[in-house]
Amino acid sequence: MNTARVATLLTVFFAFLCIIQVSLIAQTLDRTRAQISSRSTGAINSLTQIDRNLDQLMNALLSSRFSALSNSAQESTTDFQSAFEIFWGSVTVLNLRTPNTMEIMPAATSLLAETDNYLNFYDPLVNGASPMSAAQTIEMFNDTKIISEKFHDLGHDYFLALSLFSDELKDRIKQLYQTFLALALMVITCGGFSLYSLFKANRKSEELIEKSNATQARLTQVVSELRSGKLENKAKDSFLAAASHDLRQPLHALGLFLGALEKHVEPTGRTIMQKAQESSTALNRLLSSLLDLSRLDAGTVKVQRRHFDLGKLIQTLRNEFQPTASLRQITLNFDTTKHRVFSDRLLIDRVLRNLIENALTHSRGTQLELRTSVNADQLYLAVEDDGIGIPIDKQQDIFSEYYQIGNPERDRSKGLGIGLAIVHRLSEMLDIDLQLYSRHQAGCTFTFKLPLSPEPDTEDTTPSQRLQSSPSPGSITVGVIEDEQEVRDGMEVMLASKGYKTLSSDSADRLIQLIKQRQQIPDVLVSDYRLRRGTTGDKAIEKVLKALNAEIPSAIITGDTSPGRVKELNEGGYKLMHKPVDPADLLAMIDTLAASRYRSPVAQSQQSTMQ
């Protein structure tokens, strides 16, 4: 674990260096591009052409002067007028082609302004109706000579600037080559560390998948024995309570590692990753269904009635099941109601959820309706499909455990056959009078009734309020006590991938020592229930709290589902989660506990005292 963490930190460090190098290269290239655009060879060519045109103009002026009294005076005048126009045109081209030259050669601006004055002054004389006088010709010749010398000097200075820039460009290219070489080495190093971390994680995942497959085979064998009647109810409950730890532990670790590994998987491996997650989720659901049935048989589920908005619950179920219904080409028609009812919202949610899942999986219909109607002080709900229906002689059997119609091959994608058994037990607990109306090939309808609520909304906190009062993951430190290395590693990797800080150990004593070394009191404590040397999670947490003299919200994760154990931990004030734990549920529980600690002045005082 330490090696993987070092590799991850080095990867992040080299990635940061790569970003800096790329930024420097981009800045250098941009500066070079701007300088190249302002030092184009077009400027030197234009200056050379102007210098030649000025020589031609001066020669034409001399010829015009010496030919003033000869018969060729008219031809000489035409020659120097043409040279004057050519010179004017070359100056215009310099202005149009090389505007950036003015920025790096300030002398060019004043020279071009002087040249414009020269051209505007002599243009009327050169192109006038009467020829220029001898004095005017001599004056123009002298002014042209001065401008020619200045353009010659400007071209010389510009040529020197280009030479210096060429030398500077060579040095810059050399620096860029060295920078690119350093960047390549950093990328190779960063990629090597990333591949090493991914290889370690993949190898751990493969080991966990193998353990998961073995566990699934063991679970299938056990379910087969339960279904065949080889184990009586008492033996079944005893087995689930005693063996649940061994069954859930590798599944729990697998879920944590898969949750942390997801963002590191390359695109080519995401399909395999998705299949692994789906297999893990399916196995978790099967095991959770067995757990629910065991808890109902054990009498540990208590009804907690309150007033709640039934319409919101129905809308949530519709949004959740719509993708599955669309995939199976089943149309959902769910009533929208504004009525409130008085019952246990969580258990009603489970009843409706199981009925909807049963219809989507087994009905083979095209329509699924959830209707509501009101009669006096009762609200009636009906879940109806237009599928193959249920024969009359089978309508009692479907509420039995592990009973399924039309699944002789025991396809696990169709569940274990305990969904309606759970619905039957919950309906008896809630006293909602569940009824079934069905005929073969004519669909089926499940109905039950709930008492209407005359009371206003009593829900304390909206989801948005909870989010506003919850601290960010980066500010939450989680103390973990877990004696199994693979589960502890999975917990650390998963929490770190989501931004949480962790202090983890295999015992309470070592966690206390680690907390004192780091000088950081955890915001939340999470412990496995069964630890080494007969220690239990609640005793370990009590030891940590006593040593730190602090109040820290705590949770216990266990695979033990025995009623006595569940009751004992609940009465101790601990949040209880059963393995295998979904990473999202675990993070939500940690956020809730951390939020309660952050709102506690006593806890904040303890935190500041430790720091």
Q: Where are the domains of the chain?
A: 1-206, 207-297, 306-451, 463-610
| Percent of the chain topping pLDDT 90 | 6
DSSP 72: T
Q: Is beta strand 444-451 parallel, antiparallel or unpaired with respect to 477-481? A: unpaired
d(CA 468, CA 599) in angstroms, rounded, equals 12
d(CA 88, CA 64) in angstroms, rounded, equals 19
Under a CB-based contact definition with an 8 Å cutoff, are residues 549 and 502 in contact? no
Amino acid identity at 347:
L
What's the N-to-C CA distance of the chain in angstroms? 27
Under a CB-based contact definition with an 8 Å cutoff, are residues 444 and 434 in contact? no
Q: What is the pLDDT of residue 341?
A: 92
d(CA 438, CA 440) in angstroms, rounded, equals 7
Q: Provide the 3-class DSSP secondary structure of residue 207.
A: helix
Structure tokens at 481: 């006590």
Name the CATH topology of 1-206. Answer: f41 fragment of flagellin, N-terminal domain (1.20.1330)
Q: What is the pLDDT of residues 197-231, one digit of tens each?
A: 777 777 877 888 888 788 878 877 776 666 555 55
Under a CB-based contact definition with an 8 Å cutoff, are residues 348 and 434 in contact? no
Q: Is beta strand 524-528 parallel, antiparallel or unpaired with respect to 554-558? A: parallel
d(CA 470, CA 598) in angstroms, rounded, equals 8
Helix axes 345-362, 419-430, angle to 10 degrees: 150
d(CA 395, CA 556) in angstroms, rounded, equals 41
**CATH placement of domain 463-610:** 3.40.50.2300
Low-confidence ranges of the chain (pLDDT < 70): 1-8, 10-11, 14-15, 18, 21, 25-26, 28-44, 65-78, 94-106, 180, 190, 193, 223-270, 272-300, 401-417, 455-470, 560-567, 597-611
d(CA 155, CA 44) in angstroms, rounded, equals 6
Structure tokens at 10: 């080095």
Q: What is the pLDDT of residue 382?
A: 92
Amino acid identity at 465:
Q
* pTM (two decimals): 0.42
Q: Provide the 3-class DSSP secondary structure of residue 585.
A: helix
Q: What is the pLDDT of residue 269?
A: 65
Q: What number of residues does the chain have?
A: 611
Under a CB-based contact definition with an 8 Å cutoff, are residues 541 and 527 in contact? yes
Contacts of residue 344, Cβ cutoff 8 Å, sequence gap at least 6: 303, 304, 305, 306, 430
Interior/surface letters 227-250, b for 16+ CB within 10 angstroms, e for the rest: eeeeeeeeebbebbbeebbebbbb
**CATH placement of domain 306-451:** 3.30.565.10
